[in-house]
């Protein structure tokens, strides 16, 4: 069973010990806005209790001066959320704050749990009540259920989770930052110039608050931030890593260091590789703003074909991907990107973009280029065709909406009405990152899922002693 409701690709942030923590978390979330534009939230602790403010929209829309002023505390966590339109409502905004037998807790989650549905069913059968449709809420129920355990309740709760999770918990007296044993999503530890410890999805958030990157949170590790500093413990053995390669292709900020590589540098390499795999005679390389820029620079450098901006973005239009109807989406694309006929007309152009998902945006863009008079359009994509849904935190729709699920490259080329089309090979893509190829998840391209998504495990089912706790 797959939890369809919680396909969240998000950003998380946490900071301990700074009197102006809400202010800095706000800045950190602003820097991570690309990880989710649907809702944002901050929870703070004053050492005795928690307070939170969450809302729909961009960070700048959710927080006003007066709201930030009310979030006084010495520590806090924050969240940027992106989900599909269907499950987009204020009740699902994070951090999720609850009172439970152990006190108050707030949690912010980036990733997707594949067994959340099973766990939730188990709890509901035992009378637990849920009030959001996110998979994150089940984590709080797990924590409450393990509260009386003599061991470490958080460590025990985490044993039940399957899937992708970079989690930041705020308790009155500490922050606990957790990365799943596969390391699907990024999570990094840092320190501010004045010595406060922090965690974030991406290093770009540290840059924004003047903090330095210390290290990655290890897969299977819990890092505690508190008045006694930073401490670490393991809750699971690290598994063979399944770091999401799409973070490098599209999702993360180019200036971030993700899984040991700087994203911009990886993307330039992807573009170089693309030029090696599919050279073409052309007048200009034209980047598709903004996602194709770095790869286009790499393609131009490798091929020797000059790079020219022939498509100008309107930077005030955002979020085309989540417009509810196809018509609205197409109109937004036309507004967002404007072709420059004086650059394009009568030219053979190589257009470089990062990915094709549904194909609909790309088709509109290609038509614009034709209208601007392009003589030949050679489209180059810096990752392989996306053929499979993601169950680990990237919002790739079900196969019916993925253009590459049922069409081969030639059929996609016909649909897009371009002269030639090439997608980077899987091997080519994996040669551009520094860690071993088998340490990345590329299931969206290859179908090679690290966990069996059709049969997720609910440990509540499997372990009788666990069941007893809920009777
Ligand atoms: P399509 O032609 O598939 O409709 O759109 C392709 C464009 O969508 C590419 O330029 C790519 O950068 C962008 N894209 C890929 N994945 C995502 C995503 O998860 N969210 C958003 N907003 N855009 C995406
Ligand atoms: Mg794009």
The pair of three-digit structure tokens given for residue 56, joined into one six-digit string: 């729909």
Q: Are residues 365 and 243 in the same domain?
A: no
Tens digits of per-residue pLDDT, 202-234?
Answer: 999 999 999 999 999 999 999 999 999 999 999
Q: How far is the CA of 344 from the centre of ligand 1 (A)?
A: 23
Q: Where does the pLDDT of residue 340 fall: very low under 50, low under 70, confident under 90, or very high at 90 and above?
A: very high
**Does 4 have pLDDT greater than 50?**
no
Q: Which ligand is closest to the CA of 358, given by its number? A: 1
How remote is the CA of residue 91 from the centroid of ligand 1, in Å? 27
Residue 101 covered by a domain? yes
Give domain status of residue 183, yes or no: yes
Confidence of residue 88 (pLDDT cuts 50, 70, 90): low
322 and 359 both lie in a single domain: yes
pLDDT in tens, 7-39: 467 999 999 999 999 999 999 999 999 999 889
Note down the domain range covering 165: 10-251
Position 464 in a domain: no
Distance 34 CA to ligand 1 centre (A): 13
Which two tokens mark 346? 């009568």
Q: Tokens for 123?
A: 């709890």
Q: Considering the domain boundaries, does residue 24 fall inside one?
A: yes
Domain boundary among 200, 218, 251: 251
| pLDDT at 464 exceeding the cut of 50 | no
User: Which pLDDT score is estimated for 459?
Assistant: 62
Note whether 237 and 272 are same-domain residues. Answer: no
Ligand 1 atom closest to residue 396's alpha carbon, by position in its atom list: 19
Residue 302 lies in a domain: yes
Residue 350 and residue 241 in one domain: no
Q: Output the domain CATH number for residue 200.
A: 3.60.20.10
Q: 223 alpha carbon to ligand 2 midpoint, in Å?
A: 35
Residues 205 and 304 in one domain: no
- pLDDT beyond 80 at 302: yes
| Percentage, residues of the chain above pLDDT 90 | 79
276 and 244 share one domain: no
pLDDT at site 462? 39
pTM assigned to the model: 0.93
Using the 8-state DSSP alphabet, how is residue 71 labeled?
-
- In a shared domain, residues 173 and 210: yes
Q: What lines the ligand 1 site, CB under 6 Å?
A: 250, 288, 291, 321, 353-362, 395
Examine the pLDDT at 133 and tell me if it is beyond 90: no
What is the per-residue pLDDT for 7?
Answer: 47
pLDDT digits (tens, 9 = 90+) for 390-423: 999 888 878 999 999 999 999 999 999 999 999 9
| Residue 323 included in any domain | yes
* The pLDDT value given to residue 238: 86
Last residue of a domain, one of 196, 218, 251: 251
* Angstrom distance (rounded) from CA 392 to CA 244: 8
Atom 15 of ligand 1: nearest residue by CA position: 355
Sheet-wide strand order for 221-226: 96-100, 103-113, 163-171, 174-179, 221-226, 229-234
Q: What is the pLDDT of residue 336?
A: 82
Q: Is residue 358 very low, low, confident or very high in pLDDT (cuts 50, 70, 90)?
A: very high
SS3 content of the chain, % helix, strand, coil (to 5): 35, 25, 40
Q: Is residue 449 part of a domain?
A: no
Q: Average pLDDT, stretch 72-99?
A: 83
Q: Do 293 and 235 fall into the same domain? A: no
CATH code of the domain covering residue 396: 3.40.50.2020
Ligand closest to the CA atom of residue 320: 1
Same domain, 368 and 423: yes
Out of 225, 251, 277, pick the residue that ends a domain.
251
- Are both 297 and 273 inside the same structural domain? yes
pLDDT band at 262 (very low <50, low <70, confident <90, very high): very high
The residue to mutate among 8, 250, 251, having the most atoms of ligand 1 within 8 angstroms of its beta carbon, is: 250
Annotated catalytic residue 441: no
pLDDT of residue 285: 98
Which bound ligand lies closest to the C-alpha atom of 418? 1
Nearest CA to ligand 1 atom 19: 395
The DSSP output letter for 223 is E
175 in any annotated domain: yes
Q: Are 207 and 320 part of one and the same domain?
A: no
Task: Give yes or no: residues 295 and 425 share one domain.
Answer: yes
- For residues 333 and 337, what is the distance between their CA atoms, to the nearest angstrom? 6
Instruction: State residue 84's pLDDT score.
Output: 47
Q: Give me the number of domains the chain comprises.
A: 2
Burial, 148: exposed, middle or buried (Cβ in 10 Å; 0-12, 13-18, 19+)? exposed
């Amino acid at each position: 069973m797959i939890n369809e409701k919680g396909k969240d690709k998000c950003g998380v942030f946490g900071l301990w010990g700074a009197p102006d923590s809400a202010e800095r978390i706000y800045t950190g979330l602003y820097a991570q806005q690309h990880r989710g534009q649907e809702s944002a939230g901050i929870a703070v602790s004053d050492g005795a209790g928690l307070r939170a403010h969450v809302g729909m929209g961009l960070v700048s829309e959710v927080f006003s001066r007066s709201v930030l002023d009310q979030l006084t505390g010495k520590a806090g966590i924050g969240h940027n959320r992106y989900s599909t339109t269907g499950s987009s409502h204020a009740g699902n905004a994070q951090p999720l704050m609850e009172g439970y037998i152990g006190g108050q807790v707030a949690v912010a989650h980036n990733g997707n749990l594949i067994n959340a549905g099973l766990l939730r069913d188990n709890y509901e059968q035992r009378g637990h009540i849920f009030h959001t449709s996110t998979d994150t809420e089940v984590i709080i129920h797990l924590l409450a259920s393990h509260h009386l355990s003599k061991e470490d309740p958080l460590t025990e709760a985490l044993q039940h989770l399957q899937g992708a999770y970079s989690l930041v918990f705020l308790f009155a007296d500490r922050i606990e930052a957790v990365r799943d044993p596969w390391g699907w999503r990024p999570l990094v530890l840092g320190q501010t110039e004045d010595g406060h410890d922090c965690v974030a999805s991406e290093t770009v958030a540290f840059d924004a608050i003047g903090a330095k990157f210390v290290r990655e949170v290890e897969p299977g590790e819990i890092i505690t931030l508190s008045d006694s500093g930073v401490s670490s413990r393991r809750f699971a053995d690290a598994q063979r890593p399944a770091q999401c390669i799409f973070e490098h292709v599209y999702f993360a900020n180019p200036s971030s260091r993700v899984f040991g590589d700087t994203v911009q540098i990886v993307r330039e390499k992807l573009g170089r590789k693309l030029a090696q795999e599919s050279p073409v005679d052309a007048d200009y390389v034209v980047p598709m703003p903004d996602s194709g820029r770095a790869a286009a620079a790499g393609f131009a450098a490798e091929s020797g074909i000059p790079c020219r901006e022939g498509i100008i973005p309107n930077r005030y239009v955002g979020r085309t991907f989540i417009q509810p109807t196809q018509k609205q989406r197409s109109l937004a694309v036309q507004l967002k990107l404007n072709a420059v006929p004086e650059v394009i007309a009568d030219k053979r152009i190589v257009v470089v973009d990062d990915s094709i998902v549904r194909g609909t945006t790309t088709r509109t863009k290609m038509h614009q280029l034709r209208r601007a008079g392009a003589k030949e359009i050679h489209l180059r994509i810096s990752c392989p065709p996306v053929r499979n849904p993601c169950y680990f935190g990237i919002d790739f729709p079900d196969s019916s909406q993925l253009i590459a699920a049922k069409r081969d490259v030639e059929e996609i080329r016909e649909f897009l009405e371009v002269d030639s089309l090439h997608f980077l090979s899987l091997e080519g893509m994996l040669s551009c990152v520094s860690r071993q190829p088998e340490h990345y998840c590329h299931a969206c391209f290859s179908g090679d899922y690290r966990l069996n998504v059709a049969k997720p495990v609910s440990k509540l089912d499997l372990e009788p002693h666990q069941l007893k706790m809920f009777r």
